[in-house]
Amino acid sequence: MNLPAIRAIYRFEMARAFRTLTQSIVSPVITTSLYFVVFGSAIGSRIQQIDGVDYGAFIVPGLIMLTLLTQSLANASFGIYFPRFTGTIYELLSAPVSSMEIVIAYVGAAATKSIMLGLIILATAAFFVPMRIEHPVFMLAFLVLTATTFSLFGFIIGIWADGFEKLQLVPLLVVTPLTFLGGSFYSIHMLPPFWQTVSLFNPVVYLVSGFRWSFYGQGDVGVAVSLAATLGFLAACLIVVAWIFRTGYRLKQ
């Protein structure tokens, strides 16, 4: 394991985040605060509680998950796409650094930034609503697993994209709508039976439900199912990344 190489790439990616602090940290926190103001005031005045939890507190896990998914994708996809765009990726591929070390460095940096952002938003939420975390170990586990999984997914998107338009295609047209429809701001049990069944085909439902369970001890699906779905998606992303480096897809062409 070439630890100095991993450390060098990791530090470079983290330094880039701190150079663009307003875009990387401040902007998502302000956006999330606006969600609390708008949803907490407008909808919270009409929906007092969901499953015995105040609406403002109920949406906290969903908002954190929304930010976590989008930021993990953005950080990881841009992190690997920009070296491809500038051509510096070939210097990295010719260096004595294995594919696993490249993935660990880029995905680790993207996941770290997303986890930091998620914890900052959690602290910000405490200023707006009273909340509790019944299972803090599971909360951290879901936070790390989700950030790592979607950073891997973002890494795949960054390899697949051949332009900035494609880089934004999946996050904007697929992941964000699925997150809004995945129970981030409501419980799927509030839907008619048919749409409850349809919602179960949305993978984000399992992520949000498991994360919400770690806060309040209840979710739309069982926590074991949520954990299994998260680990399954992580395994699928690892398989795709391994295939990319084995075949050289969009890297050696």
Domain ranges of the chain: 3-247
Q: Is pLDDT of 21 > 70? A: no
Look at residue 112 in the predicted model and tell me its pLDDT. Answer: 92
For residue 54, the cross-strand partners are 49
Burial class (CB in 10 A: 0-12, 13-18, 19+), 248: exposed
Identify the pLDDT of residue 135. 93
pLDDT at 170: 83
> What's the Rg (C-alpha) of the chain?
19
Q: Which of 21-30, 79-88, 191-200, 233-242 has the least mean pLDDT?
A: 21-30
Q: Which of 167, 141, 170, 161 is nearest to 230 (CA)?
A: 141
CB 105 within 8 A of CB 10: yes
pLDDT at 22 exceeding the cut of 70: no
* Residue 62 pLDDT > 80: yes
Sequence-separated contacts (24+) of 230-238 with Cβ below 8 Å = 230/142, 230/145, 230/146, 230/149, 230/206, 231/145, 233/149, 233/153, 233/203, 234/145, 234/148, 234/149, 234/152, 237/149, 237/152, 237/153, 237/156, 238/152
pLDDT (average), residues 159-176: 84
The pLDDT of residue 179 is above 90: no
pLDDT for 212-236, tens place per residue? 999 999 889 999 999 999 999 999 9
pLDDT, one tens digit per residue, over 74-128 is: 888 888 888 888 877 787 878 788 888 888 889 999 999 899 888 988 888 888 7
- Look at 52 and 205; give whichever has higher pLDDT: 205
The pLDDT of residue 155 is 92
- Helix intervals (H) in 217-251: 223-247
Long-range contacts of 86-91 (CB under 8 A, 24+ apart): 89/251
Is-contact 72 151, C-beta < 8 A? yes
Report which residue type is found at 62: G
**Residue 131 binned pLDDT confidence (cut-offs 50, 70, 90):** confident
Please give the mean pLDDT across all residues of the chain: 85
Closest by CA position to 182, among listed 219, 147, 152, 156: 219
Give residue 5's identity as a one-letter amino acid code: A
pLDDT higher for 18 or 13? 13
Question: What pLDDT is stored for residue 45 in this prediction?
Answer: 62
199/221 Cα distance (integer angstroms)? 11
Q: Quote the pLDDT of residue 23.
A: 66
